[in-house]
Amino acid sequence: MSLEKNDIVTIRIEDMGNEGEGIGKADGFPLFVKGAVPGDLVKVKVMKAKKNYAFAHLEEVVEPSPYRAVPPCPVANPCGGCSLQHVSYEAQLQYKQNKVRNDLIHIGGFDAEYIDSISEPIIGMEEPYHYRNKAQFPIGKDKNGHLVAGFYAGRTHDIIPNRDCMLGVKENKEILDIVLDHMKACHIEPYDEVTHKGLVRHVLIRKGFATGQLMVCVIINGKKLPKEDVLAEKLMQIKNMTSVSINVNTGHDNVILGKEARLLAGEERIIDKVDDISFCISPLSFYQVNSVQMEKLYKQGLIYADLKGNETVWDLYCGIGTISLFLAQKAKQVYGVEIIPEAIEDAKNNARINGITNAEFFVGKAEEVLPEKYAQFREKELKGEGIQTDGHASADGEGTDERQCKPAGYADVIVVDPPRKGCDAKCLETILTMAPEKVVYISCDPATLARDARILADGGYELIHVRAVDQFPQTSHVEAVCAFKRK
Ligand code: SAH
């Protein structure tokens, strides 16, 4: 069957696509329907027909799926932030678990029964709202010229006004009200992406969930905000407000934060805690947005690393050292690698404030630093100076069981937590050459995870555990942890 634009068909939704859209078939021809839920019987109108599939608009839910939910947020539909609020949380978790499973099978080429036998149930949230510790609200004007703060509509930069996002913290609204009132009182214009005129671009808000500390950073297309001291004073009156700053971004692209920052009041950074470890966070730092799930994710990673205390561990893509410091509590030595120099500065500082002395950090690409350190290690080893035990150089690298104080370049366990594009081929190749006993792979994209898992499996590693952790309820993002053991 071929379909054309404006055709109307009634279909049963059977599956969910990568962005949470419903997928159903009309005589075998797949249709992607935003807002439709697996199990729904829906009447849809074809909007765009391609050769092998089409996008269709949801006209009517003829028979609702049992997995359908009423979105609690009034702007859930137009807002580009949440794509799954209309799906029950239970079904969201099921979808995410299946996504990891199916990618490992179809992209990774693993046996379905085997994957089912090693998969553990997804870790969801008890309260799957108000979990984000960070929000970046674009500031603009509505059709009537009123100042608005909110989120971009899906695939556009139209702002859907919403100061009280259901994924965010309750303080967001109070902070935005103060900033927008100040803009109004001082006649400050929001930035216009088309003309590049106007001053205020975004308001970034962060909260340390464990400490309650709050940070506000106003991102402006200029050097100074009129009466910024007055604004800072008002913001500092909010309970637990710890940091108020300005970030200068005069660029014409979509990047939110500029390089130049200036503190208006309070401290440069806020502190948050995960378990017993404190982390200093700046406006620019990468920090997992879901504090509650972050702890569960790291703990799961730690379980899979199964450290006994004498291991040398690498944490590749370490950001501000969160996972590294978690691992350092249980390992002999941890080495972290991260591409952003400021994040490594934060990581070193975080080690210091926690009194952690067995973590060392390197700036650079994982695919460059790891091979470099490994080559240096091999060279030393060949010269017979490779193995150090408790600080003493020892010449008999050969056949020793000593696994203490190994220099950088050696690994018992390698943990990776790459961005969505996954690990670089050179990085995986080096991991295989270094042959650690275990590899723990934390991933925010099951497709690249599956691709890389296949490379590890072909290189002699057995995939022994798989577990998804829901870091992003109400959205289609999927996070997972896998454990590999050297055969
Ligand atoms: N493990 C950290 C950060 C994970 S996000 C945490 O849980 O908080 C992925 C990190 O990889 C980012 O900090 C990003 O800056 C970094 N990164 C991206 N490409 C990289 C590369 N090629 N080598 C090293 N780090 C990289």
How many CA atoms within 13 Å lie on the side-chain side of 212? Answer: 4
CA of 418 to the centre of ligand 1 (A): 5
Give the residue-averaged pLDDT of 255-269: 94
Question: Which three-class secondary structure state does DSSP give residue 310?
Answer: coil
What is the residue with the minimal CA distance to atom 1 of ligand 1?
A: 318
How far from chain centre, in Å, is Cα 177? 28
Give the residue-averaged pLDDT of 62-76: 95
Tell me the per-residue pLDDT of 413-422, one tens digit each, with 9 for 90 and over.
Answer: 999 999 999 9
Tell me the per-residue pLDDT of 190-232, one tens digit each, with 9 for 90 and over.
Answer: 999 999 999 999 999 999 999 999 999 999 999 999 999 999 9
Residue-by-residue DSSP string for 231-244: HHHHHHTSTTEEEE
What's the confidence (pLDDT) of residue 402?
A: 43
The residue to mutate among 286, 415, 452, having the most atoms of ligand 1 within 8 angstroms of its beta carbon, is: 286
Give the residue-averaged pLDDT of 48-54: 92
How far from chain centre, in Å, is Cα 59? 34
Say if residue 395's pLDDT is above 60: no
Say if residue 446's pLDDT is above 90: yes
Q: How confident is the model at residue 316 (pLDDT cuts 50, 70, 90)?
A: very high
Is the Cβ–Cβ distance between 406 and 380 less than 8 Å? no
Lookup result for tokens 């199990």: 39
d(CA 335, CA 410): 10
d(CA 328, CA 323): 8
Give the least confident one: 2-6, 314-318, 329-333, 413-417.
2-6
What's the confidence (pLDDT) of residue 392?
A: 37
Give the residue-averaged pLDDT of 167-179: 97
The pocket around ligand 1, CB under 6 angstroms, is made up of 286-288, 317-319, 322-323, 337-340, 343, 365-367, 417-419
CA of 366 to the centre of ligand 1 (A): 9
pTM of the model: 0.92
Q: What is the 3-state secondary structure (H, E, C) of 44-62?
A: EEEEEECCCCEEEEEEEEE
Ligand 1 atom closest to the Cα of residue 366 is 23
What are 47's two structure tokens?
């909007």
CA of 341 to the centre of ligand 1 (A): 11
What's the confidence (pLDDT) of residue 387?
A: 54
Residues annotated as catalytic (active site), given as ranges: 444
What's the confidence (pLDDT) of residue 393?
A: 37
CA angle, 367 as apex, 330 and 451 as ends, to 5°? 85
pLDDT above 90 covers a percentage of the chain that reads: 86
Q: How confident is the model at residue 283 (pLDDT cuts 50, 70, 90)?
A: confident
- Residue 268 sits at φ, ψ, to 5 deg, of -65, -35
Domains present along the chain, CATH in parentheses: 8-63 (2.40.50.140), 134-274 (2.40.50.1070), 290-387+401-486 (3.40.50.150)
Is the Cβ–Cβ distance between 313 and 329 less than 8 Å? no
Give the residue-averaged pLDDT of 237-245: 98
Is the Cβ–Cβ distance between 408 and 360 less than 8 Å? yes
What's the confidence (pLDDT) of residue 400?
A: 39
Tell me the per-residue pLDDT of 349-370, one tens digit each, with 9 for 90 and over.
Answer: 999 999 999 999 999 999 999 9
pLDDT above 70 covers a percentage of the chain that reads: 95
Q: How confident is the model at residue 300 (pLDDT cuts 50, 70, 90)?
A: very high
The residue to mutate among 317, 423, 440, 469, having the most atoms of ligand 1 within 8 angstroms of its beta carbon, is: 317
Tell me the per-residue pLDDT of 8-34, one tens digit each, with 9 for 90 and over.
Answer: 999 999 999 988 899 999 999 999 999
